[in-house]
Chain A
Amino acid sequence: MSLFRIENPGPLTTVQDNGRQGYQRHGLAQGGAADRHAFMWANKLLENAPGSACLELAFGGFEAVALAPVTVAVTGAAWEVQLNEDFMPTWRTLELARGDRLRIPPVRHGRFSYLAIPGGVLSETVFGSQSVVMREGVDGLNPIAAGDVIGGKSAGILPQRVVPLRFQRRYESPVLCRVIAGYQYHQFSGDDRHRLFGQRYTVSSQSDRMGFKLSGAPLQSPPSGVISEGVALGSIQVPGDGNPIVLLNDRQTIGGYPKIGVVSTLDCSRLVQALPGQQVAFALTDLEAMQSEWLMFERFFQVSRWNPSGTDLSWGG
């Protein structure tokens, strides 16, 4: 049923879910919500199945009118939303009556906000996913435009819930990216490895859902290119100019630049919220630690249950 009419989509609003699986061999990117932390919490607030499609809003400036009474959840960069005349905090559920106007002001820190609706956003599924990868221009996968009507499985008012403060994120602080050393790590000189981990980088303006280009003191002698190979989420590739690029959800499936390592999946979610000029540092970690942390994160969303007051959660049975 119709839940919203979009009055202003802002600079870029797309539908995102868990991303596309099994189509990279056809050259299709992974896609999917860029900040998995904020995305998972938006769904959790409504007890949607993990990975249900949300609207991903870049930079705010979004406005929509409710067409039915509905509870929504907003997480991510937006620190407040405007409901008609009133400003309300985010990282919690919001009750909307028919005709209510929801506005997400331009964000000050962070890039992406997530708007979840009960049961997930309805849109076309293409190649197993609703995620929109702009540069691919696949038929049926378009960004949200003014006048679009957003459909959901059901309207209805759900319990009020708020993400416990310890899980809410602000994005103004410098970002620490933990790095799993790659199989090409030892092809980089000791000096260059030291340089990568010993300095603070700055997020450049060439940063988007494909990848984040960082600027700093360039690595002096990155290895020359490798034969193009599949690239994982978070790969830190270092082209000839010596400045690293962290590859994200909408990255190309294969690439030929040498890779010094991979930023952990959960830290990719944090990095993607950084704005140009913000500082980023790298620290070495190990695969096992990152794998268990990620598993804990995913399992938490699968099995945790809200307490009756909707203010905290406990591990379910």
Chain B
Amino acid sequence: MIDCVSENSVLVTLGNRIDPALTSKIVALCEWLDLNGEGWLVDLVPSYTTLLVVYDPLQRDFRDVTRIVRQGVGGLAQLTRQPSSEGHSHEIPVYYSPESGPDLLALAKLKGLSVDEVIRLHSQRSYQVYALGFLPGFGFLGTVDPQIQAPRKVVPRASVPAGSVAIANGQTAIYPRTSPGGWQLIGRSPTVMFDRHSLSRLSIGDQVRFFPVSRKEYLSMGGEL
């Protein structure tokens, strides 16, 4: 479905529920538009089930853009191969502890688990990057094991330290920089998620795994406390 949103954007909706299979379609559509959007494509904002296509109305009007985008969406049905980037895999070290993750104990208690079980459940599965947003390099990763899902905090923190690893319902994320935030903090990673030279470490469609490290390892990797 393609809807006109504003004078210079249309929204492509490829599904109405979160589904990892949609992400590879959205990535493929981004790649197709990057190739076919020369001269009029301004920006692409992929998310879970949608792609916002921002265009230059001086070059194409909404009828042209809708037609071109429809052609791209039509091509997805015949897409036999996966998009060229299967998605990178990332291994992200995390120092899970009450010291680095102030909500870890409360979350374990809430879910009736030991801290070690929370850590095991968070680090045993591979997560897909569904979307980027909120801050440069902030990836929305899913899906978190239902046994450790917890809602956002009622009162968000004024300052969440950079590198914080956090959970909100079925999603988990790494805060690329210090910012306000309402997610449940369970640890911290020394990995730089965004800088001005390499841009965002994560891209939509990538796979992410977390692995626990000790306090000493965290600090030796450049982590701060």
Q: How far is the CB of B161 from chain A (nearest CB, A)?
A: 14
CB nearest neighbor in B for A136: B136
Partner among A21, A288, A290, A291 whose Cβ is within 8 Å of the Cβ of B42: A21
**Which residues 161-220 in B have Cβ within 8 Å of A in the complex?**
177, 179, 194-196, 199-200, 203-204
Partner among B6, B30, B48, B200 whose Cβ is within 8 Å of the Cβ of A229: B48
Q: How far is the CB of A208 from chain B (nearest CB, A)?
A: 14
Contact A229 B50 (CB under 8 A): yes
B46 sits at the interface (CB 8 A)? yes
Residues in A with CB closer than 8 Å to B138 are 27
CB nearest neighbor in B for A26: B200
Q: How far is the CB of A178 from chain B (nearest CB, A)?
A: 11
A165 sits at the interface (CB 8 A)? no
Contact with A along B54-68 (1 / 0, CB 8 A): 100110011000000
Contact B8 A230 (CB under 8 A): no
**Which residues 8-48 in A have Cβ within 8 Å of B in the complex?**
21-28, 30
B94 sits at the interface (CB 8 A)? no
Q: How far is the CB of B142 from chain A (nearest CB, A)?
A: 11
User: What separation, in Å, do the CA atoms of A253 and B139 have in the docked complex?
Assistant: 12
Residues in B with CB closer than 8 Å to A229 are 11, 45, 47-50, 52
User: What separation, in Å, do the CA atoms of A255 and B48 have in the docked complex?
Assistant: 11
Contact B131 A228 (CB under 8 A): yes
Q: Given A22-B42, A265-B8, A295-B57, A137–B177 Cβ distance below 8 Å?
A: yes
B28 sits at the interface (CB 8 A)? no
Contact B134 A227 (CB under 8 A): no
B93 sits at the interface (CB 8 A)? no
CB nearest neighbor in A for B18: A227
Contact A291 B134 (CB under 8 A): no
Residues in B with CB closer than 8 Å to A232 are 5-6, 8-9, 52, 54
Partner among A21, A26, A228, A235 whose Cβ is within 8 Å of the Cβ of B199: A26
B7 sits at the interface (CB 8 A)? yes
User: What separation, in Å, do the CA atoms of A234 and B6 have in the docked complex?
Assistant: 8
A264 sits at the interface (CB 8 A)? yes
A254 sits at the interface (CB 8 A)? yes
Q: Given A230-B11, A262-B5, A138–B52 Cβ distance below 8 Å?
A: no
Residues in B with CB closer than 8 Å to A291 are 7-8, 57, 61-62
Contact B52 A228 (CB under 8 A): no
Q: How many residues from B make CB contacts under 8 Å with A?
A: 46
Contact A228 B58 (CB under 8 A): no
Contact B43 A24 (CB under 8 A): yes
Q: How many residues from A make CB contacts under 8 Å with B?
A: 44
Residues in B with CB closer than 8 Å to A28 are 136
User: What separation, in Å, do the CA atoms of A230 and B133 have in the docked complex?
Assistant: 9
Contact A253 B7 (CB under 8 A): no
Q: Given A26-B199, A253-B132, A230–B50 Cβ distance below 8 Å?
A: yes
Residues in B with CB closer than 8 Å to A139 are 195-196
Contact with B along A166-200 (1 / 0, CB 8 A): 00000000000000101100000000000000000
Contact A252 B7 (CB under 8 A): no
User: What separation, in Å, do the CA atoms of A28 and B138 have in the docked complex?
Assistant: 10
A274 sits at the interface (CB 8 A)? no
Residues in A with CB closer than 8 Å to B50 are 227, 229-230
User: What separation, in Å, do the CA atoms of A254 and B46 have in the docked complex?
Assistant: 9
Of the listed residues A25, A228, A233, A252, the one surrounded by the most CB atoms of chain B closer than 10 A to its CB is: A25
**Which residues 118-161 in B have Cβ within 8 Å of A in the complex?**
131-138, 140
Partner among A22, A27, A183 whose Cβ is within 8 Å of the Cβ of B133: A27
Question: B-contacting residues of A (Cβ < 8 Å)?
Answer: 21-28, 30, 126-127, 135-140, 180, 182-183, 227-235, 252-255, 262, 264-265, 287-288, 290-291, 294-295, 298-299
For the A-B complex with A26-B199, A232-B54, A262-B5 known, give 19 more contacts whose Cβ atoms are closer than 8 Å: A27-B138, A28-B136, A30-B43, A136-B135, A137-B177, A227-B16, A227-B18, A228-B48, A228-B140, A229-B11, A230-B9, A232-B5, A235-B6, A254-B132, A265-B7, A287-B6, A287-B7, A290-B7, A298-B58
9 smallest A-B Cβ distances: which pairs?
A230-B52, A230-B45, A254-B133, A183-B3, A229-B50, A232-B6, A26-B200, A262-B6, A27-B132
What are 30 of the A-B contact pairs (CB < 8 Å)? A22-B43, A24-B43, A24-B45, A25-B30, A25-B45, A26-B200, A27-B135, A27-B137, A27-B138, A136-B136, A140-B196, A180-B5, A227-B17, A227-B18, A227-B48, A227-B49, A228-B47, A228-B133, A228-B140, A230-B9, A231-B45, A232-B9, A232-B52, A252-B133, A254-B45, A254-B133, A265-B6, A265-B8, A291-B57, A298-B58
Question: A-contacting residues of B (Cβ < 8 Å)?
Answer: 3-9, 11, 16-18, 30, 42-52, 54, 57-58, 61-62, 131-138, 140, 177, 179, 194-196, 199-200, 203-204
